[in-house]
Amino acid sequence: MEFKLTILLICLPLAILFGQLKPIRNLPYKVEYYCPPCGCTHDDKVFEGAGVCDSCNMAYNSRIMGLEDKPAEPVPTPIVGILLFDGADIMDVTGPMSVFEHAGFRMLTVAKDKNPKQIGRFVQFAPDYDFDSLPKVDVLVVPGGGPAEANQDMDIVAWIRQKNKETDTMFSVCSGAFFLAHAGILDQNEATTFASLIPQLRDGFPNVTVLNDVKYTNNGHVITSSGLSSGIDASFEVVAKYLGVGRAQDIANHMEYPWKRRNDYARSQLADNYILSLNNLIRPFAAKYTFSEGNHDRWEYQFLLWTGVDSKAFLTFIYTQLTKMESFNTGHLDSNSITAEIRHKDLGKGHISLLLTNTTEGPLLKVIARRSSSFNISKTN
């Protein structure tokens, strides 16, 4: 045993010595680190190693010398047209804008005319082009907002229908899907939209397969996203189409955004959909709204009620309103609790419980919704 150990101790250093890669004295490759042009005092200054610019706090870029013979690979610069109209949602417009800017895409804004458009409540955008002057684009972004959901401008619909023939990617955000649906672009395709508008899209357009459990859909030519911030996730999907998934993920990481291609989040599937209407009834009675957390299977709210609330009258009022809801099936009212079974149009059967307890800070109300096959209607969990 001692002999074998001695041989090992002698041979191991030799193996390491002879197995090591000997350094090349004159490498054919060199790297320069520089501050990318941003307007700071170190623009284009070259540094010896990787680091962060002490003027603008941005990480240095790098360029490799010695690869001059490598064939240049063209980097696509897709052109994105972003539709503007009065009442478009500000996140539907600016969320994709931010992603595409970081991806290096060229962006153009377009509207029915060149008058400034009210985006959201406080921001006006002056479009770059009107419908007649917009050059050919690779991607057309159709945001949502009130005018997309009802009484749609048929001039916008007709223009979208015409642009669909020459545009590589049609991309709707939130309720912008209704513009695409009216234009016939979603027929025989999967699509999604803002959670509460899914039934309206499904009922109004029977030729569209409307999904209620995804953040976005992608059939290659048409990409639709669910509500608001989901348009950011779908924008990364657009980036992946043109630059590759790896590059899209790098851009998401740079933006500190947790993009995941798998659809493991869908607003319309969260268990709080069972109790959203109760939330609106309860909040006027609350001094503080202290907790809201859950997932697809269970959601819990907590409220500290105003100390002047009559607890018995409050629970009776909530239970009475609950029984009037179309989704209500059966329930039970106690002196300090409510339990009920309901059936949601998208989520199916669910159970809710409300429990009121006294704390040092005041009356605490817990509201819990959950999907469960077994539930005792006479008990509050």
**Around 152, how many Cα atoms within 13 Å sit in the side-chain half-sphere?**
21
Tokens 């029984």 locate to 323
* Segment 239-260 mean pLDDT: 90
Q: How far apart are CA 168 and CA 293, in angstroms?
A: 40
Residues in CB range of 283: below 8 A, 6 or more apart: 289, 303
Going by C-beta distance under 8 Å and a sequence separation of 6 or more, which residues neighbour residue 306?
Answer: 285, 286, 287, 362
Round to whole Å and give the CA distance between 340 and 372.
12
Three-state DSSP class for residue 337: strand
C-alpha distances (whole Å) from 239 to each of 75, 97, 168, 188, 249 are 12, 12, 13, 24, 9
The answer on pLDDT for 337 being more than 50 is yes
Q: In this structure, are strands 129-130 and 216-218 parallel, antiparallel, or unpaired?
A: unpaired
Written as six digits, the tokens of 373 are 């096959």
More confident residue, 36 or 167: 167
In the DSSP assignment, the letter for residue 22 is: P
Q: Is 366 exposed, middle or buried (0-12, 13-18, 19+ CB in 10 A)?
A: middle
Ordered by start, the domain boundaries in the chain are 28-73, 79-268, 270-370
Q: Whose CA is closest to 334, among 321, 347, 318, 349?
A: 318
pLDDT classification of 374: cutoffs 50, 70, 90: very low
Report whether pLDDT(12) > 80.
no
- Whole-number Cα distances in Å, 53 to 4, 16, 49, 250, 254: 55, 39, 11, 21, 16
* Higher-confidence position of 110 and 46: 110
Which residue stretches of the chain are H helix? 2-19, 90-102, 146-149, 154-164, 177-182, 198-204, 230-243, 245-254, 276-282, 311-323
Per CATH, domain 270-370 is 3.30.310: yes
* Rounded-to-integer distance, Cα 343 and Cα 327, Å: 5
Q: Place 298 in a pLDDT band, splitting at 50, 70 and 90.
A: very high
Higher-pLDDT residue of 345 and 343 is 343
Residue 255 CB neighbour total at 10 angstroms: 16
**Could you report the per-residue pLDDT of 36-49, keeping only the tens digit for each?**
788 888 887 888 78
Residue 378 tokens read as 């006479």
Tokens of 240: 């992946």
Q: What are phi and psi of 112, to 5 degrees?
A: -60, -35
Q: Give the pLDDT confidence of 208-237 residue by residue, as tens digits.
A: 999 988 999 999 999 999 998 999 999 999
Q: What is the pLDDT of residue 380?
A: 38
Alpha carbons within 13 angstroms on the beta-carbon side of residue 116 total 6
- Domain 79-268: give its CATH superfamily: Class I glutamine amidotransferase (GATase) domain (3.40.50.880)
pTM (whole model) above 0.75: no
Helix or strand or coil: residue 238? helix
